[in-house]
Amino acid sequence: MGGETPVEGNLLIVWGVPEPQELIAGLRLKYPTLKITYKQASVAFSDPATIARLSEEDVSDDEWLSATHLTTMSYLPPARLVPEVTKKLKFIQLTSAGVNHLATHPIFTSTSIPITTTSGIHGPPISEWVALQILSESHLQRTMYKWQSERRWARAAGDSSLGFRDSVGRRVGILGYGSIGRQSARVLAAMGMDIIAYTASPRPTPESKRDTGFIVPGTLGDRDGTLPIAWHSGTDKASLHVFLGADLDYVLIALPLTGATKEILGAEEFEILGRSGAYVLNISRGESVDQDALIAALKKPLGEGGLRGAALDVATPEPLPESNELWGLENVTITPHVSAWNGRYLERTVGVLEENLARGARGDELVNAVDRERGY
């Protein structure tokens, strides 16, 4: 292992996919003193009751109790085993960026076992999704597809002046300036957009603006926090409203879902955004917005307090029912929670896991460690 501290113990991997044999073989080769057990979960995500039941059925008590390291999508040791599990388990590496789906489990509420996320690996695909939605909206791709289906060359008909826009000088507010927000800022700034950041806590110093989380090799993000032309902060409505009132063309919701961020955007907030006719992009969670208020704002005419449109990768509930009004709104683009999907998701998850195995063996601080009080 090239002089690195050996990693010993039992790594339990519980993922809702068939064993990625090449990745697991690579782990075994790299960590010969680490016993690795792979268990395929019956589901990746589900309601807490289903996950609790399947955690009992898919993984044996002995496997839970012998684990010194755990990586999982949503399975955790059964509540009855938690007191014993805590004696051996050194950390839990989630495959997700968020932890809201685990926030009521005794592992989260009643232990201090470090929990780490894969925050950082989602930045590249999601930032591309964000850029795609902005460019599709500003270059009227929905209209272009319609014209193509009609075999219509509109320029020849003299009706091409429809409000095409480029991105230079457009103002995008990023609500939640973590790894996804920072990589999105990197991509959008390269298109000439002005970045306005919003975080819960103030970041007045260079050190406070710095991102210490995982970054996918080959990407830059905004490690030093230098891309925003303005940086707003606060946990109160007044501070949020100042940010939303900053003449924004686009708002990207990139927040973790916590009690403080649930429905952080409602009727009041959409009214403020409507003054600039903003376009809303949500890659966070559907519960981050008051969905009924969003629909109402999307139905209002531009110039009368309405939003220009929305691109939504998340909704409430998921799957979004066929009867939901969002499906039929012409200024809305919906994707089924796939903005983070890419062919290297598990490979990058293993990259974070390896970083934390090495740090843990050395006794160093883990990357992407969850702050239980904050909820992320």
Q: What is the pLDDT of residues 311-352, one digit of tens each?
A: 999 999 999 999 999 999 999 999 999 999 999 999 999 999
pLDDT at 124: 97
376/119 Cα distance (integer angstroms): 10
What number of CA atoms fall less than 13 Å from residue 254's CA on the CB side?
31
pLDDT at 233: 98
**Angle between helices 123-138 and 141-149 in degrees, nearest 10:** 60
pLDDT at 47: 84
pLDDT, average across residues 169-182: 98
102/125 Cα distance (integer angstroms): 24
1 pLDDT higher than 50: no
Q: Domains in the chain, please, with CATH?
A: 9-121+343-362 (3.40.50.720), 123-334 (3.40.50.720)
Alpha helices in the chain (DSSP H): 21-30, 48-58, 61-66, 82-85, 106-109, 123-138, 141-149, 154-157, 179-190, 206-209, 237-244, 267-274, 291-299, 345-362
Q: pLDDT band for position 160 (50/70/90)?
A: low
pLDDT, average across residues 92-97: 96
156 pLDDT higher than 80: no
The b-or-e profile of 199-208 (16+ CB within 10 A means b, else e) is bbeebeeeee
85/113 Cα distance (integer angstroms): 10
pLDDT at 158: 55
What are the residues whose beta carbons fall under 8 Å from the beta carbon of 232, sequence distance 6 or more? 196, 197, 198, 199, 239, 242, 243, 246
pLDDT at 81: 98
370/202 Cα distance (integer angstroms): 19
45 pLDDT higher than 90: no
Q: How many CB atoms lie within 10 A of CB 298?
A: 21
pLDDT at 4: 79
- Smallest CA-to-CA distance from 272 within 137, 173, 169 is with 173
- Smallest CA-to-CA distance from 26 within 364, 351, 372 is with 351
Both tokens of 142, joined, read 């929905």
Q: What is the DSSP letter of 175?
A: E
Q: pLDDT band for position 3 (50/70/90)?
A: low
Stated pTM of the model: 0.91
41 pLDDT higher than 60: yes
- Smallest CA-to-CA distance from 286 within 343, 228, 230, 326 is with 326
**Angle between helices 291-299 and 267-274 in degrees, nearest 10:** 30
Of residues 162 and 202, the one with the higher pLDDT is 202
